[in-house]
Amino acid sequence: MESASRRKAAEPSPPAARAANGADTEPMFDLIELLFFAYRDFVGDADRLLENYGFGRAHHRVLHFVSRRPGLTIAELLDILKITKQSLNRVLKELRDKGFVEVRAGVIDRRQRQLYPTKTGTALALNIAKLQTQRFRRVFGHLQKNARPDAIAFLLAMIDPREQEKVATLVASGARLKSLGREL
């Protein structure tokens, strides 16, 4: 006679049972589409402001990270954004030419190029962040008290597992800038 513990161990767990029945193989269209729509509206707030400067989403991403981490090197920014050097150079040239970002030689290694926001660049990045924060505050105002930590956990889990720790560290370093009075 088979012991109860052995039978229990042999039974698939609920998620494994659903997968065996084909339930977990169906696309999660509801979540996929909601993520598309949420992203559309989230970046749409920034898009409308950026249009006034002739900028797009690529400019926003560069300006955001340069403003959050003054002195960021081009190599570090390429690693964060996962884009080609050619794509970055086009966007960076426009941001430099219009006075939103400065490129300086590295303090320790003069061959390195470090990126710094100008006052104008910092102001634009902050205006965009405030717009996007308004959307978050509105949403969190309608949800349970623990919604923000749950949202953070969900978003981190959506990131490729090999990148999660690096991204968590990067986000936490930005939070430290804020706590040091360098909110950008």
184 residues of the chain, pLDDT tens digit each: 445 544 444 554 555 555 555 568 899 999 999 999 999 999 998 999 999 999 999 999 999 999 999 999 999 999 999 999 999 999 999 999 999 999 998 888 888 899 999 999 999 999 999 999 999 999 999 999 889 999 999 999 999 999 999 999 999 887 544 433 444 4
At CA 163, angle to CA 136 and CA 143, rounded to 5? Answer: 20
Task: Give the per-residue pLDDT at 109.
Answer: 82
pLDDT at 139: 94
| Domain ranges across the chain | 29-142, 144-184
Name the helix (H) or strand (E) containing 115. Answer: strand 113-117
Architecture of domain 29-142: Orthogonal Bundle (1.10)
Closest CA to 120 of 45, 47, 184: 184
**Around 150, how many Cα atoms within 13 Å sit in the side-chain half-sphere?**
6
- Alpha carbons 96 and 33: distance in angstroms, whole number: 36
Alpha carbon distance 153, 4 (integer Å): 36
